[in-house]
């Protein structure tokens, strides 16, 4: 077992509404990521699940049973935090074994559990060392092993990779996803890093100002953002959003450009819209029927590719191009648009328009 479900969570701190009706359903065994910017209410959600936060309203169900009134201990959940201090005088083995010792497990049971988790984290060689004899990355693995050595109902993880350098963080992402598969346990993982979320999650819940904006697989959240805000938060470089409206079979930009109206959109003529274009759905190197005219604003070389900033009226469009692309600021450019992959949002509500016709 290991399902976690929260319904209508509300929590305020003074004037701040940290949670404003959060409802989530975490399936058993899933890697469920709660993604949102700083202050969105991610940690508060996790603490509510763990029983560490007194709620104003809402319920928490664990394995289908109401656990809203249960103590943290009775919930049988493991919290994994950003900072995990190891006991400096103890070896890695003793550190990893400590949660099981505290629960008075037998020596043979402890040895088997430590051996298993150390194997998964590739730290068997380090077990007799003390923290001072470990590198930062090795310490992080030992700390993770200590958190994962138990088999609670679910693991609640609060940005556990934040304090690592970029290289190690990328490595640990792959490791955590692999460990999740091996353990088959339920992970509820909080992060503000969209790459982390998209690369590890089975399901992503996007949170903003205490409200769930969208829940879906990483592909759904990226390819079918529920609203303009999710479209802007998920994806790098950020999606370009251009004010426009439909008129007959054309889209007319506020900046004066026109494009063929995408076949799938149902928007009525004249309604204020935002056209969302991701950098990889735009090109300055190919020619197509649907194009926008602009001028080169800047180049951002990223090694494997270059992001070309193109100014269309007062808007800057981000376009992914080959690393070798060149140009001079101010020169005229045509940006080809893949309208089948474009997004349209209601400019008033920010909600994505129905894509039933796609």
Ligand X SMILES: Nc1ncnc2c1ncn2[C@@H]1O[C@H](COP(=O)(O)OP(=O)(O)OP(=O)(O)O)[C@@H](O)[C@H]1O
Give me the residues paired with residue 312 across strands: 315
Write each residue from 176 to 195 as x if it is in contact with ligand X (CB under 6 A), else as -, in one continuous string.
----------------x---
**Residues 2, 29, 36, 294: which binds ligand X (CB under 6 A)?**
36
Task: Count CB-CB contacts under 10 A for residue 49.
Answer: 26
CB contact set of 194 (below 8 Å; sequence gap of 6+)? 35, 233, 234, 235, 236
The minimum distance between CB 187 and ligand X, in angstroms, equals: 17
Quick one: 167 exposed, middle or buried, by C-beta within 10 A (0-12, 13-18, 19+)? exposed
Q: Which of 43, 49, 105, 116 is nearest to 77 (CA)?
A: 49
Residue 98's φ and ψ, nearest 5 degrees, are -55, -40
Determine if 40 is a binding residue for ligand X (CB under 6 A): yes
If one asks whether residue 38 binds ligand X (CB under 6 A), the answer comes out as: yes
| Contacting residues for 224 by C-beta, under 8 A, at least 6 apart | 216, 352, 355
Kindly list the strands in the beta sheet with 57-62, ordered across the sheet, starting from the edge strand earlier in the chain. Answer: 16-26, 4-13, 57-62, 65-66
Which among 241, 284, 290, 282 has a CA at the least distance from the CA of 261? 290
b/e sequence 82-92, b meaning 16+ C-beta within 10 Å: eebebeeeebb
Smallest separation, CB 57 to ligand X (Å): 16
CB of 46 to ligand X, least distance (A): 8
Is 21 among the residues that bind ligand X (CB under 6 A)? no
Q: Say whether residue 39 binds ligand X (CB under 6 A).
A: yes
Least distance in Å: CB of 232 to ligand X? 17
C-beta of residue 236 within 8 angstroms of C-beta of residue 195: yes
Judged by CB under 6 A, which of 3, 44, 283, 291 binds ligand X?
A: 44
Using CB under 6 A, which of the segments 38-46, 62-70, 118-126, 224-232 binds ligand X?
38-46
Instruction: Closer to ligand X by CB, 94 or 193: give it.
Output: 193
Determine how many CB atoms are found less than 10 A away from the CB of residue 240.
23
Name which of residues 58 to 87 contact ligand X (CB under 6 A).
Answer: none
Q: Which is nearer to ligand X, 29 or 36 (CB)?
A: 36
Q: Does 13 bind ligand X (CB under 6 A)?
A: yes
Among 2, 29, 41, 262, the residue binding ligand X under the rule CB under 6 A is: 41
Q: Which is nearer to ligand X, 159 or 281 (CB)?
A: 159
Which one, 16 or 112, has the nearer CB to ligand X? 16
Nearest to 273 by CA among 298, 305, 306, 251: 251
Q: How far is the CB of 251 from ligand X (least distance, A)?
A: 36
What is the smallest separation between the CB atom of 23 and ligand X, expressed in angstroms? Answer: 16
112 makes contact with ligand X (CB under 6 A): no
The number of residues that bind ligand X (CB under 6 A) is 12
Q: Which residue from 42, 141, 318, 320 is in contact with ligand X, where contact means CB under 6 A?
A: 42
- 213 contacts ligand X (rule: CB under 6 A): no
Q: How far is CA 271 from CA 57, 201, 218, 247, 260, in A?
A: 38, 36, 30, 9, 16
Binding site residues, ligand X, CB under 6 A: 13, 16, 18, 36, 38-44, 192
């Amino acid at each position: 077992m290991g399902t976690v479900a929260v319904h209508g969570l509300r929590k305020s701190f003074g004037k701040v509404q940290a949670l404003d009706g959060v409802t989530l359903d975490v399936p058993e065994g899933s890697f469920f990521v709660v993604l949102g910017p700083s202050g969105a209410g991610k940690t508060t959600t996790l603490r509510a699940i763990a029983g560490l936060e007194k709620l104003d309203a809402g319920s928490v169900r664990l394995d289908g049973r109401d656990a809203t009134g249960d103590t943290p201990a009775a919930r049988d959940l493991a919290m994994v935090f950003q900072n995990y201090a190891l006991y400096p005088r103890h070896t890695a083995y003793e550190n990893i074994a400590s949660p099981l010792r505290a629960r008075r497990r037998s020596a043979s049971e402890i040895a088997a559990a430590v051996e298993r988790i150390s194997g998964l984290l590739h730290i068997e060689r380090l077990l007799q060392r003390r923290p001072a004899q470990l590198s930062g990355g090795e310490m992080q693995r030992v700390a993770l092993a200590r958190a994962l050595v138990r088999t609670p109902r679910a693991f609640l993880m609060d940005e556990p990779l934040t304090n690592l350098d970029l290289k190690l963080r990328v490595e640990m992402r792959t490791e955590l996803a692999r460990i999740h598969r091996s353990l088959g346990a339920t992970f509820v993982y909080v992060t503000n890093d969209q790459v982390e979320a998209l690369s590890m999650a089975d399901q992503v819940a996007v949170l903003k100002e205490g409200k769930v904006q969208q829940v879906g697989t990483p592909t759904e959240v990226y390819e079918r953002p529920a609203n303009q805000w999710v479209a802007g938060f998920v994806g790098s470089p950020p999606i370009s959003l251009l004010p426009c409206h439909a008129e007959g079979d054309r889209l007319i930009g506020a900046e004066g450009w026109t494009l063929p109206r995408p076949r799938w959109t149902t928007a009525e003529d004249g309604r204020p819209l935002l056209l969302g274009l991701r950098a990889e759905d735009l090109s300055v190197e190919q020619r197509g029927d649907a194009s926008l005219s602009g001028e080169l604003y800047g180049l951002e070389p990223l090694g494997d590719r270059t992001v070309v900033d193109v100014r269309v009226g007062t808007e800057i469009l981000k376009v992914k191009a080959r690393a070798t692309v060149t140009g001079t600021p101010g020169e005229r450019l045509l940006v080809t648009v893949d309208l089948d992959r474009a997004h349209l949002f209601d400019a008033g509500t920010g909600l994505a328009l129905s894509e039933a016709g796609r």
